[in-house]
């Protein structure tokens, strides 16, 4: 186990004086950086570290499980590397592993990370951020969109249900690889929201899978449907900002950043 990195504090304002956010992402991911670049308050900087995805095949439940097993081995090295730039906060820009095992599994995942980064840094994981965002809207029922196979959808369903929500449906797009998630046509996402997930019994819709960027289309769908639509990347960015004392609001990028 690597020893927690010792932070030094600058004597005067410098780059990222309001916040230097270290973000851990899969080596296959382009969605997180794309979304983060839409939320850059003055004095806040993003710093990305990648963990190697040796096995990007997600074409079946077994391959999806192999993917999860492989990234558990490479995440610690990315944490080790990002700590050397002295971030003031850590955000996990990956999704599936943070849902695994429900609430208890998420807590165990975060604890493993905290043992590595030490007690000084705040930490945001995707599943926990999504729960915090949903809690703000005081909703009871939720539907979820994922790029996953069925084995991943089960974990999303479990986490949301254990978080106190009635889960009406989890719809997985069953993307073939970790890379191809980012190539999902917007029309396919919109069709899934309108024809697979929305309904009178749904109070809010969430989206998992950090390489599936929906920041450009969810705000419009929110207005159209009259209910919260929360992308996991937007939820993690919002949670990291607010937990780090960055209270800037953004308009036109969804109700979460406009209202809370």
Give me the mean pLDDT over the 100-128 stretch: 95
Give the pLDDT of residue 119: 87
Collapsing DSSP states into helix, strand and coil, what is residue 140?
coil
Q: What percent of the chain has pLDDT over 70?
A: 95
Domains in the chain, ordered, with CATH?
Answer: 19-128+235-259 (3.40.50.12500), 132-231 (3.40.50.12500)
Measured in whole angstroms, the distance separating CA 235 from the mean position of its chain's CA atoms is 7
Q: Would you state the pLDDT for residue 9? A: 61
Amino acid 120: pLDDT: 87
**pLDDT band at residue 13 using 50, 70 and 90 as cut-offs:** low
Q: Is the pLDDT of residue 1 over 80?
A: no
**pLDDT greater than 70 at residue 144:** yes
Dihedral sign, CA of 151, 153, 159, 164?
negative
Is the pTM higher than 0.85? The answer reads: yes
Q: Where are the alpha helices (DSSP H) in the chain?
A: 31-36, 61-83, 96-99, 102-117, 126-137, 150-162, 186-192, 218-225, 232-243, 255-259
**Cβ atoms of 24 and 91 closer than 8 Å:** yes
């Amino acid at each position: 186990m690597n020893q927690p990195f010792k932070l030094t504090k600058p004597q005067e304002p410098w780059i990222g004086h309001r916040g230097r956010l270290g973000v851990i992402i899969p080596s296959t991911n382009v969605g997180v950086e794309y979304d983060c670049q839409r939320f850059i308050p003055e004095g806040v900087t993003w710093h990305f570290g990648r963990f190697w995805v040796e096995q990007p095949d997600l074409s079946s439940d077994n391959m999806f499980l192999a993917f999860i097993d492989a990234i558990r081995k490479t995440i610690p090295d990315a944490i080790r590397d990002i700590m050397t730039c002295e971030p003031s906060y850590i955000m996990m820009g990956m999704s599936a592993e943070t849902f695994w095992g429900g609430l208890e599994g998420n807590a165990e995942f975060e604890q493993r990370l905290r043992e590595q980064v030490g007690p000084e840094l705040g930490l945001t994981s995707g599943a926990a951020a999504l729960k915090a965002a949903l809690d703000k809207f005081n909703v009871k029922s939720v539907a979820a969109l994922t790029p996953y196979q069925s084995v991943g959808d089960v974990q999303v369903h479990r986490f949301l249900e254990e978080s106190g929500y009635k889960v009406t449906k989890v719809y997985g797009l069953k993307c073939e690889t970790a890379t191809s998630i980012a190539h999902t046509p917007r029309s396919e996402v919109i069709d899934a929201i309108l024809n697979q997930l929305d309904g009178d019994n749904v109070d809010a819709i969430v989206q998992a899978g950090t390489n599936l960027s929906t920041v450009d289309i969810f705000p419009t769908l929110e207005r159209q449907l009259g209910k919260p639509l929360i992308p996991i990347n937007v939820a993690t960015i919002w949670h990291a900002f607010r937990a780090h004392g960055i209270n800037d609001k953004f308009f036109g990028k969804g109700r979460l950043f406009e209202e809370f």
